[in-house]
């Protein structure tokens, strides 16, 4: 049982419009979104900073950062939603899906630029900074706008992970589950 009950329809008009915009047609709004809707200010601010629009990173690169961040923070809820919605779109086979959770940053299934993104996430989650080796690798593959976006994604999904775990949100029925060790 979540610590705060998700809002139920009918939603206030502004929230209903935003939910309709971000959710695929025919898919009920995520428990996370409906829970955030309990505080319209938080709901609005979280979506204003969502970084899910087209940015400096490719969709695949963005998903690598999001999936690794949420996995490293033990947030099966958000990881599972992203895997369900995006893994196939970005070409993640079962090996890559599992590697976002259990593999090292330099796993052979990733390209060198993808390994640099994974190392960035690992550094920020583990040490709350970026080590020199990780920075050198990032700078060899990405420009400043891409690096800033990657760091912002790690921070944003750190917050999302805290919300999901702190509120004890139930997993979505269609969400992927962490692979067995």
Closest CA to 31 of 8, 51, 50, 48: 8
Q: How far apart are CA 21 and CA 23, in angstroms?
A: 6
Q: Give me the architecture of the 59-166 domain, per CATH.
A: Up-down Bundle (1.20)
Amino acid 44: pLDDT: 87
**Per-residue pLDDT, 52:** 65
The C-alpha atoms of residue 176 and residue 92 are separated, in whole angstroms, by 13
Question: How many whole angstroms separate alpha carbon 154 and alpha carbon 157?
Answer: 5
Quote the distance between the C-alpha of residue 168 and its chain's center: 17
pLDDT 10s per residue in the chain (181 long)? 889 999 999 999 999 998 998 888 888 999 999 999 999 999 888 877 666 667 899 999 999 999 999 999 999 999 999 999 999 999 999 999 999 999 999 999 999 999 999 999 999 999 999 999 999 999 999 999 999 999 999 999 999 999 999 999 999 999 999 998 5
Question: Residue 65 in contact with residue 150, Cβ under 8 Å?
Answer: yes
Q: Which of 67, 72, 156, 48 lies closest to 148 in space, CA to CA?
A: 156
User: Structural domain boundaries of the chain?
Assistant: 13-48, 59-166
Q: Name the pTM for this structure.
A: 0.93
């Amino acid at each position: 049982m979540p610590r705060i009950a998700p809002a139920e329809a009918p939603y206030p008009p502004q929230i209903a419009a935003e939910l309709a915009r971000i959710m695929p047609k025919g898919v009920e709004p995520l428990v996370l979104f409906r829970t955030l809707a309990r505080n319209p200010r938080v709901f609005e601010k979280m979506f204003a900073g969502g970084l899910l629009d087209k940015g400096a990173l490719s969709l695949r690169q963005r998903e690598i950062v999001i999936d690794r961040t949420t996995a490293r923070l033990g947030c099966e809820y958000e990881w599972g939603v992203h895997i369900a919605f995006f893994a196939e779109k970005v070409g993640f086979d079962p090996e890559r899906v599992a590697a976002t959770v259990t593999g090292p940053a330099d796993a052979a299934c990733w390209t060198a630029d993808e390994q640099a993104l994974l190392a960035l996430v690992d550094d920020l989650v583990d040490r709350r900074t970026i080590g020199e080796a990780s920075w050198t690798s990032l700078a060899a593959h990405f420009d400043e706008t891409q690096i800033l976006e990657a760091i912002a994604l790690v921070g944003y999904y750190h917050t999302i992970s805290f919300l999901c775990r702190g509120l004890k949100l139930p997993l979505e029925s269609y969400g992927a589950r962490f692979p067995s060790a």
